Amino acid sequence: MDARKRKRVEAAGWRVGSAAEFLELSAEEAALVETRLAVSGALKQRRVRQGVTQAALAKKLRSSQSRVAKMEAGDPTISLDLLLRAFFATGATKRDLARVLTSRRRPVAA
Amino acid sequence: MDARKRKRVEAAGWRVGSAAEFLELSAEEAALVETRLAVSGALKQRRVRQGVTQAALAKKLRSSQSRVAKMEAGDPTISLDLLLRAFFATGATKRDLARVLTSRRRPVAA
DNA sequence: GGTGTATATGTCGGATATGACATATATTGC
DNA sequence: GCAATATATGTCATATCCGACATATACACC
C-alpha cells in the first residue's frame, strides 16, 4: 500500500465503505504495484543485457545514477512516468511494454 | 514534447548530441505520449460503457470530477500514475492494459 | 428559453517527485 | 587487501502534480 493511500485510509479511520469496495481498492492497488514492479524489473533486465551502466542510462535520460538505481529497486518515490521514460529509453516499444505486462514473473535467482 | 523536455532542450540551446540521439529521444517521447493517450482513451471508453459519470469515478478514486475530465482529455498535468489508477479503478486488469497498448487506434467518430 | 445534469477549463495552496549531490556498499581484477 | 568501477542509500531545494473549488460550456427534456 503506497503512502498516499495509507494516509487516506488512516485519515478515514479505516472505515472503508464496504468489504467489496475495500477488496476492489486492493485489487486496483495491486494492479498498479504489479505494473510498477513489472516495468522496473524489465528495465533492469534490458539495461543489463545491453551492457549499459546506470550512470550511462541516467545521462541519456538527463537524470541521475541514483534515480536509476531507485527505479530498478522499485522505490515508491519514482513515478510511473519516469519509469516508463527510462524503459523506453532502453529502446523498448509499447509492444514490449505489453509483453512485460502479460508475461509471468521470472523467478529470482537463488 | 512535454514541458519538462522542452525546457531542458531549450536550456541546452537545442544543441542535442547527434541526430540519431535526437531521433531516439523523439521515439521515446512518442512512445510515452502514445501510451498516455492509449490509456486515456481506454479509460473513457470503459467508463462510458459502464454508464458511470466522471463525478462517480472521481468519488471512487477520491479525486475530483475535473481531474477525471483532464485524464480523459489527455491533459499533460495528469501523471501516468493517476491515469493508471483510474484505469484500474474501472475494473481493468494488467492484461487489459496490455491489450490497450497493442490494439490499433479506434477511429474517432465523425 | 429555462432547469437539470454531465463534462470541460482555470486557478490555488499544499503535497510529492525531481535532479543533483554526497556517500556508503557491492563487485571485479590485480 | 587494494584500486577501480558499479550500484545503493540518503538529503536537499525546486519543479511538478495533487485535490478542491469555481465557473464555463454542452446537452437533454420540457
Distance B78 CA to D14 C1' (A): 20
Q: How much is the pLDDT for A29?
A: 87
- CA dihedral (A92, B5, A73, A29) in degrees, to 10, reads -90
Inform me whether the pLDDT recorded for A3 exceeds 60.
no
User: Using the CA of B70, which nucleotide's C1' is the nearest one?
Assistant: C8
The Cα–Cα gap between A80 and A70 comes to 12
pLDDT tens digit at each of 110 positions of chain B = 444 444 444 433 344 445 555 656 678 889 999 999 999 999 999 999 999 999 999 999 999 999 999 999 999 999 999 999 999 999 999 999 999 999 887 665 54
**pLDDT of res. A9:** 47
Which candidate from B79, B85, B99 shows the least CB-CB separation from A81? B79
> Is the Cβ of B35 closer than 8 Å to some Cβ of chain A?
yes
Residue among B92, B90, B110, B89 at smallest CA distance from B101: B92
> Which residues from A are below 8 Å from B24, CB to CB?
91
**DSSP letter assigned to residue A63:** S
In B, which residues are within 8 Å of A23 by CB distance?
A: none
Which chain A residue shows the shortest CA-CA distance from B21? Answer: A60
What pLDDT, on the 0 to 100 scale, is given for residue B19? 57
CA A18 to C1' D22, whole Å: 32
Answer for B65: CB within 7 Å of strand C. Answer: yes
Alpha helix stretches (DSSP H) within chain A: 3-11, 19-49, 54-61, 65-72, 80-89, 94-102
- Lookup: nucleotide whose C1' is closest to B64 CA: D19
Q: In angstroms, what separates the C-alpha of A24 from chain B's closest C-alpha?
A: 8
In chain B, which residue's Cα lies nearest the Cα of A78?
Answer: B81
Residue entry with cell 539495461: A47
Burial B77-94 (b: 16+ CB within 10 A, else e): ebebbbbbbbbbbbebeb
Residue B32 and residue A39 in contact, taking contact as beta carbons nearer than 8 Å: no
Q: Which three cell numbers stand for residue B38?
A: 492509449
pLDDT per position as a tens digit, A48-77: 999 999 999 999 999 999 999 999 999 999
Using an 8 Å CB-CB cutoff, list chain B residues near A24: 91
pLDDT at B55: 96
A48 contact to strand C (CB, 7 A limit):
no
Residues of A with CB below 8 A from B84's CB? 31-32, 35, 80
Who wins on pLDDT, A36 or B3?
A36
CA atoms of A67 and A89, how far apart (whole Å) = 14
> Kind and range of the H or E element at B5?
helix B3-11
What is the C-alpha to C-alpha distance for residues B70 and B75, in angstroms, rounded to an integer?
5
Closest listed residue to residue B61, CA positions, set A1, A34, A5, A81: A5
